[in-house]
Structure 1
Amino acid sequence: MGGFSKVTNFIFDSLRGSDSATQQRPPSEMADFISDAIPGLKINQQEEPGFEVITRIDLGKRPEVHRRQPVSIEEWMKNMDSEGRILNVDSVKQMIFKGGLCHALRKEVWKFLLGYFSWNSTREERANVQKRKIDEYFRMKLQWKSVSEEQERRNYRLRDYRSLIEKDVNRTDRTNKFYEGQDNPGLILLHDILMTYCMYDFDLGYVQGMSDLLSPILYVIENEVDAFWCFALYMDQMHQNFEEQMQGMKTQLIQLSTLLRLLDSEFCSYLESQDSGYLYFCFRWLLIRFKREFSFQDILHLWEVMWTELPCQNFHLLICCAILESEKQQIMEKHYGFNEILKHINELSMKINVEEVLCKAEAISIQMMNCKELPQAVCEVLRLENSAVTTPDSDTGEDETVGDISCAAPAHPVVSNGTKESTEQEAHTIATD
């Protein structure tokens, strides 16, 4: 994973015009560079054992999709009874998925979307939850607040967590008014919540990139305790991305490759020919859920849409597919190699139209769900049922052929497993400037 950091740092050097990047590395050298930096990673996916055969099938016509205006306060209130219960949860989630929320609602509705409040809870029940969570939060906060300098000198992990947090807080969304300037109250809250999270989950502690996940939540919630618990619940979803073994990242790269192969085997073959078949240029997208790819306001909209968990599981992977599909023509027509693909994807940051991407991703999801012959591997990624195609289990070794074009999806790709220290100090610098 440290290799991903080095690759990203190389690209950032290129964008800044650093002397270290004045000599463009040829793709073959960069492939060797990644192989050396990430022991065990096989760059070439072709003809590797243990691959499931996924065949290209006719997905049918892709539908045209339209989005609606954000959910208004009036619409939200119409779906709430006199005691504060949400009446038609499925309908509300559908509206949020199709249009997001007006900003005035986010402070309340995000707590439902992230699971802090139950959808069928009353106002009184929610107030009781908050009272309990206040006590629990400040007990944990007191734990690190009361550690003496002498104790901290003997606790290298707490010391390292604090150092990383202080470093990251000082460079997280500093152009946003909520966090700009010195001694900003928002920065203090960001720091304190992250330190308290280390007490909540000391085994994981703090890993670079987590400040990016907290920042929008704190900005919206505007309350230290509620923001902490919403962040902790979001981290429950994202936890595997930051663990030492990076199992979440491995799994998502496999799943993304599976989906993209079904959608466009030609593009996958091209990426493989340029030593880019493992889609590691999407690493930052997946690690912090596009936080660095869209404007701050757009990421608020994108996250609340994804938190509905509609229209299928792993919708964020279809967003990746939608972005890559939009960039395919330029990448292939200009014959981009390894370096150029990495550079091009990094330069998309802040240039992607969130509404266009959401429309395309939703259209892809409908196209797949309407297809009666989806490979089982794709059904599993999207957690769809009733596929008309029966594909073999990965351990049977048997292949199934539908149509005349087959393409391989990696069953067990290898991503570097570093030490806990190298993971925290090196790998996730990919999510920092």
Structure 2
Amino acid sequence: MNDLCSRFLEVLHSEADTFWSFSCYMEKFSKDFRADGLHRKLELEAALLKELDPQLYAHLSTDSMESFTFCHRWLLLGFQREFEHSDALHLFEILSCDHLEFVFQQADSAHYEERLARKYRADGSIGSELQTINTDFTFELFICTAILVENRESLLQCRDDAQLIQFTSSLQGTLDLNSTLKKAEHHFYNYCRRCAWGYMNGQCRAHKSREQDFLYPQFICFKVIATI
């Protein structure tokens, strides 16, 4: 937590402002410092990598690896040691402002579901909803995925957790922020696109006779894509 608190003090130049800002931050992210929160975040990273790069996921999930625990420090400290100090501070600001977060699309999704529910009640039918996107996938997970995929060839050469930790430790201070952000946004876009087509295909199978209902969910999914 000292690493995180020092960022607020460096920017705010006030111990009082740092205390209250850091307190608010910890209220939001305190679960990441507990065992269940850590386990959940690593599960999400594994699930995202499985979606975007199944081969690399399968390799890192073998018995000789420690199931993505090497990503823990990256996610907990916001990649503070993987980038130059000024870039790490910039990235922390990006992640803290929730710019590219799926949670911002929940309002649109809820609005669509309400409209669809009213329509179903009007004609007496009931339909099941398919989740458009997994809002638990925060943008920091896409940053982590971008780093893994960028170094996939080296990671595929790792045969046990000792080699894995040695390699990931060698990345400290070597990553380029702009390049990583572009790749993370690219993976974010690909995930949105997959969700959009998966949602549309599921809706087509479930409601073949209601093609007019497909327009709004498509708008939601591609509105997410358009934010990039």
TM-score, with structure 2 as normaliser: 0.68
* Offset, 1:310: 2.2
**Following the alignment from structure 1 to structure 2, what is the Cα–Cα distance between the partners of residues 260 and 305?**
22
Partner of residue 145, structure 2? 321
Partner of residue 9, structure 2? 218
Does 2:127 correspond to 1:303? Answer: no
* Offset, 1:359: 0.6
The answer as to whether partners of 1:269 and 1:277 remain within 8 angstroms in 2 is no
1:257–1:389 CA distance, 2 compared to 1 (3 A): farther
Match of 2:25 among 228, 234, 250: 234
Match of 1:294 among 63, 68, 83: 83
CA offsets 1:342-361 (integer angstroms, 9 cap, x no match): 11011111111111111100
Larger relative contact order (C-alpha < 8 A, sep ≥ 6)? 1
Q: Please give the residue correspondences for 1:262-301 in structure 2 after superposition, counting only pairs within 5 Å.
A: 262-273=51-62, 275-276=64-65, 278-301=67-90
Q: Please give the residue correspondences for 1:415-426 in structure 2 after superposition, counting only pairs within 5 Å.
A: none
1:268–1:227 CA distance, 2 compared to 1 (3 A): same
Match of 2:161 among 331, 338, 341: 338
Count, aligned residues: 167
CA offsets 1:149-197 (integer angstroms, 9 cap, x no match): xxxxxxxxxxxxxxxxxxxxxxxxxxxxxxxxxxxxxxxxxxxxxxxxx
**Following the alignment from structure 1 to structure 2, what is the Cα–Cα distance between the partners of residues 367 and 220?**
34
* Offset, 1:335: 4.7
1:387–1:324 CA distance, 2 compared to 1 (3 A): farther
1:212–1:352 CA distance, 2 compared to 1 (3 A): same
Task: State the SS of the aligned residue for 2:178.
Answer: helix
Task: State the SS of the aligned residue for 1:273.
Answer: coil
The answer as to whether partners of 2:147 and 2:180 remain within 8 angstroms in 1 is yes
**Following the alignment from structure 2 to structure 1, what is the Cα–Cα distance between the partners of residues 71 and 25?**
20
**What is the RMSD of the two structures over their aligned residues, measured on CA atoms?**
1.9
* Offset, 1:324: 0.3
The residue identity in structure 1 corresponding to 2:97 is T
**Following the alignment from structure 2 to structure 1, what is the Cα–Cα distance between the partners of residues 200 and 97?**
24
1:216–1:387 CA distance, 2 compared to 1 (3 A): farther
Does 2:41 correspond to 1:252? Answer: yes
Q: Please give the residue correspondences for 1:187-206 in structure 2 after superposition, counting only pairs within 5 Å.
A: none
* Offset, 1:316: 0.2
The residue identity in structure 2 corresponding to 1:317 is L
Q: Which runs of 4+ in 1 moved over 6 A?
A: none
The answer as to whether partners of 1:306 and 1:316 remain within 8 angstroms in 2 is yes
**Following the alignment from structure 1 to structure 2, what is the Cα–Cα distance between the partners of residues 329 and 254?**
22
Q: Please give the residue correspondences for 1:167-182 in structure 2 after superposition, counting only pairs within 5 Å.
A: none
Does 2:183 correspond to 1:360? Answer: yes
* Offset, 1:269: 1.3
Which structure: greater helix fraction? 2
The answer as to whether partners of 1:318 and 1:361 remain within 8 angstroms in 2 is yes
Partner of residue 173, structure 2? 350
Q: Which runs of 5+ in 1 are unaligned?
A: 1-209, 375-385, 391-433
**Following the alignment from structure 1 to structure 2, what is the Cα–Cα distance between the partners of residues 259 and 335?**
20
The answer as to whether partners of 1:322 and 1:357 remain within 8 angstroms in 2 is yes
The answer as to whether partners of 1:268 and 1:277 remain within 8 angstroms in 2 is no
* Offset, 1:274: 5.5
The answer as to whether partners of 1:240 and 1:248 remain within 8 angstroms in 2 is yes
* Offset, 1:388: 5.0
**Following the alignment from structure 1 to structure 2, what is the Cα–Cα distance between the partners of residues 317 and 325?**
12
Name which one, 1 or 2, has greater alpha-carbon Rg.
1
Partner of residue 180, structure 1? none
CA offsets 1:270-304 (integer angstroms, 9 cap, x no match): 12235226201111112222122222211111011
1:389–1:211 CA distance, 2 compared to 1 (3 A): farther
Q: Please give the residue correspondences for 1:371-410 in structure 2 after superposition, counting only pairs within 5 Å.
A: 371=194, 372-374=196-198, 388-389=201-202
